[in-house]
Amino acid sequence: MDRIERVLVITAHPDDSEFGAAGTVAKLVRDGCEVTYVIVTNGSKGSSDRWMTSERLIRIREEEQRNAARTLGVERVQFLGYEDGEVEDTRDLRRDVSREIRRWRPDLVICQSPNRSYNLGASHRDHRTVGGVVLDCVYPLARDHLAFPELLPDYEPHKVREIYVMQWENPQLVVDISDVMDIKIKALACHASQFRDFAGLETRVRERAAVLGKAKGHAYAEAFDHIEMQR
Ligand SMILES: [Zn+2]
């Protein structure tokens, strides 16, 4: 099979890709892949500090996300600036995501699950909406030249080869992240505005990664569904 060279991780909020895929991203970077992050929302709602303003929080979370990306060796981070908590599946969002796929021309796209589960944090409304939009953009919107004619001639159609969909229940793909688990924790720690008790969070993240790895005999894992596109 052809080598994966370019990877695009598209998520709803700053910190989503660290929770779901930081270990996998660190391994892809180590293997020589060029990884780009696209963050759809501005993260303006994620604070329990009653003195925090959305304006200040947006700046803090952008900085935190850039630091986390740097920790993992991610090449660049793009923010689409949609309102946190209010993402809808609109033509504008589908065009913007299609444009980023055409711009960065990834072999592999990593995204969130479009499905509701009773893990309310993981299946946050924005995650489901963005996950569904990303899949719609991989096929057919980024691929077809007649979709979003306004993107031409700057953004030529692009065919993505594979998709990893972040997934915890009966995943198709379990990635061994044992030797990069410490980097994942370091990247997560960059999102300081999101955690009051990072030690407690680290314990929970390690426990979950251990559960995911158990069936395959890995100390720690991340898990995905795996879609391979027809050529
Ligand atoms: Zn999120």
Q: With contact defined as beta carbons under 8 Å apart, do 11 and 159 qualify?
A: no
Mean pLDDT over 54-63 rounds to 95
Q: What is the pLDDT of residues 61-75, one digit of tens each?
A: 999 999 999 999 999
Distance separating the N- and C-terminal Cα atoms of the chain: 12
Q: Which amino acid is at 3?
A: R
Cα 25 to averaged position of ligand 1 atoms, centre (Å):
17
Cα 68 to averaged position of ligand 1 atoms, centre (Å):
15
Average pLDDT score over the chain? 96
- Protein residues placing their CB within 5 Å of the ion ligand 1: 12-13, 16
Global confidence as pTM: 0.97
Has residue 231 got a pLDDT over 80?
no
pLDDT score for 1: 59
pLDDT score for 2: 80
DSSP string, 14-69: TTHHHHHHHHHHHHHHHTT-EEEEEEEE--TT----TT--HHHHHHHHHHHHHHHH
Range in 27-31, 35-39, 165-169, 199-203 with the lowest mean pLDDT: 165-169
Q: What is the pLDDT of residues 84-103, one digit of tens each?
A: 999 999 999 999 999 999 99
Cα 19 to averaged position of ligand 1 atoms, centre (Å):
9
> Bigger pLDDT: 72 or 215?
72
Q: What is the pLDDT of residues 98-148, one digit of tens each?
A: 999 999 999 999 999 999 999 998 999 999 999 999 999 999 999 999 999
Cα 226 to averaged position of ligand 1 atoms, centre (Å):
21
Has residue 177 got a pLDDT over 80?
yes
Cα 14 to averaged position of ligand 1 atoms, centre (Å):
7
Of the candidates 169, 165, 159, which has an alpha carbon nearest to the alpha carbon of residue 114?
A: 165
Q: Report the percentage of the chain scoring pLDDT > 90.
A: 93
Cα 141 to averaged position of ligand 1 atoms, centre (Å):
24
